[in-house]
Amino acid sequence: MHTASMDGPPLIDVGALVDPSSTAEQRVAVAREIDAAARAWGFFYAARHGVDESLVAEVVRLARSFFAQKEAVKMRIPMSAGGTAWRGFFPTGGELTSGRPDWKEGLYLGSELGPDHPRVREGVILHGANLWPDIPGFRATVLAYIDALEALGHALMRGCALGLGLPEPWFDEHGTRDPLLLLRFFNYPARPVPAGVPASWGVGEHTDYGLLTMLWQDEVGGLQVRTDHGWVDAPPVPGTFVCNIGDMLDRMTGGRYRSVPHRVAVNTSGRDRLSIPLFFDPDFDTVIQPVPGAGPGQDDSGRRWDGANLQSFQGTYGDYVTAKVGKVFPDLNQKLQRY
C-alpha cells in the first residue's frame, strides 16, 4: 500500500472492484487494503475508480460556473425554497457544523424524486426534487454524475463486505439496495472572513452520518483528518476520490471501521477552493444493525466531536439523520419541529 503523502491516508487502486472482468482474488486483495485503511484511518484515496474523467471535469466546470454567478442569482434557488427536501443554495456563513458558521457556500443536490414518489408525498425529509440553476446542461450532467458515483459506492461497499469477511453483496441486501444519495457542491471563498463573523473553519470538525463519502477536491487543499497523533492533511491527489467511513458503517461494524472526525481549514490560498462530496448512505427505512461477526462496540462518546455514543444508537437511518440535520441548519430545524 502506498501513501498519498508522507503520513496521510493510503491510496488504494480500486480498479478490480469496478472492473467486471476482475477475479475474486483481485477483489479480495483490494478489499484487504480497504479493510486496513478503514480500521486505521477511516479514510483512503480511491484511484482507478472507473468514473469517466470527462464527466468529472464537466461537473467541476458546471459547479464553478454556478458559484461564479452573482449572489442574487444564486439566491434564486435558496435552501428555504427546497423545504424539507434539503436542496438549494446557501450563502457563506449559512451552515453551522459545530455550532459555528462555516466559511463556505454550497449547493445541495441529490437523487431527483418527483412529487408522486411515495416518500415525497409523505414529506419525508431529504427526499424530493432538486432546485436547478439556470445553466445549460446542469441537470443532465449532475444526474449522470450521481448515477456514476452510486455505482462506485456500491462497488466500494462490496469491497467493505469482502474486507469484513462477508459475502460480496451483503450491503446490497442489508441497507443499500436503494441508498440515500446526497451531492453537495462547496465553494470555500478566497475572500477573508470579515471582522465580526465568528467563523474559524471552512467546515468545523464533524463526522459524516452515513456509510461512505466520496469526495472530489480541487488542487487547493485544506481537508484535515484526525488521527490518534493529531490532525493530518488529506491533500489533493489528482484522479482520485477521498473516501471516508460514516457513522452508520462505524456503528454496523462495532467500531471496526471508523467514522473519523475531519474538518476544512479556512481557505487562505488566495483562490477559491471547490469540493464535491457525494454521501452514499443507507436506505432511510433501514434499521441499523450490526454486521455478522461485529463485536460489541465500545462507548466512544469521550472521543467524539458530538459527545454521542454511536454504538448505543438504535433505530433507522432516517431516525439518525433527522436528529442530526436540524443542528446544522437551524432554519430547517424549525420546519422539522413544526413537521
Query: Which residues contact Fe ion (rule: CB under 5 A)?
Result: 208
Distance, in Å, from the CA atom of 243 to the CA atom of 155, rounded to the nearest integer, reads 13
Q: Could you say whether residue 203 binds ligand AKG (CB under 6 A)?
A: yes
- Residue 157 CA to residue 286 CA, distance in Å, equals 16
Lay out the site mask for ligand AKG across 209-238 (x = CB under 6 A, - = otherwise): ------x-x-----x---------------
- Between 58 and 208, CB nearer to Fe ion: 208
Question: Which residue of 277, 282, 297, 318 would you call a contact of ligand AKG, by CB under 6 A?
Answer: 277
Residue appearing with cell numbers 424539507 = 84
The footprint of ligand AKG on this chain (CB under 6 A) covers a number of residues equal to 11
Question: Closest distance between ligand AKG and the C-beta of residue 283, in Å?
Answer: 20
Q: Which of residues 66, 90, 186, 317 is near ligand AKG by CB under 6 A? A: 186
Residue 302 CA to residue 320 CA, distance in Å, equals: 19
* Contact pick of 142, 264, 288, 332 for ligand AKG (by CB under 6 A): 264
- Given a contact cutoff of 8 angstroms between Cβ atoms, the answer to whether 129 and 84 are in contact is no
Q: Which is nearer to Fe ion, 208 or 247 (CB)?
A: 208
Partner that binds at residue 275, options Fe ion, ligand AKG, none, CB closer than 5 to 8 Å by kind: ligand AKG
- Which residues have a Cβ under 8 Å from the Cβ of 89 and sit 6 or more positions away? 74, 75, 77, 78, 79, 105, 106, 107, 108, 131
Contact residues for 202 (Cβ-Cβ < 8 A; gap 6+): 102, 103, 104, 188, 222, 263, 264, 265, 266, 267, 273
Q: Which is nearer to ligand AKG, 113 or 203 (CB)?
A: 203
208 contributes a contact to ligand AKG by CB under 6 A? yes
Which amino acid is present at 324? K
Least distance to ligand AKG, CB of residue 86, Å: 13
Choice from 27, 251, 258, 262 touching ligand AKG (CB under 6 A): 262
- Alpha carbons 89 and 59: distance in angstroms, whole number: 16
Distance, first Cα to last Cα, the chain: 49
How far apart CA 33 and CA 88 sit, in angstroms, is 37
Q: Which is nearer to Fe ion, 171 or 186 (CB)?
A: 186
Q: Which of ligand AKG, Fe ion, none does residue 264 bind to, with CB < 5 to 8 Å depending on kind?
A: ligand AKG
Angle between helices 53-67 and 138-163 (to 10 degrees): 130
Question: Could you say whether residue 34 binds ligand AKG (CB under 6 A)?
Answer: no
Which C-beta is closer to ligand AKG: that of 245 or that of 291? 245
Could you give the CA distance from residue 326 to residue 26 in angstroms, rounded to a whole number? 43
CB of 214 to ligand AKG, least distance (A): 11
* Spatial CA neighbour of 282 closest among 83, 126, 164, 97: 126
Residue 186 interacts with, from Fe ion, ligand AKG, none (CB under 5-8 Å by kind): ligand AKG
What order do you get walking across the sheet with 201-206 strand by strand?
201-206, 262-265, 223-227, 230-233
Q: Toward ligand AKG, which CB reaches closer, 128 or 210?
A: 210
For residue 186, the minimal CB distance to ligand AKG (Å) is: 5
Q: Given the rule CB under 6 A, which residues bind ligand AKG?
A: 184, 186, 203, 208, 215, 217, 223, 262, 264, 275, 277
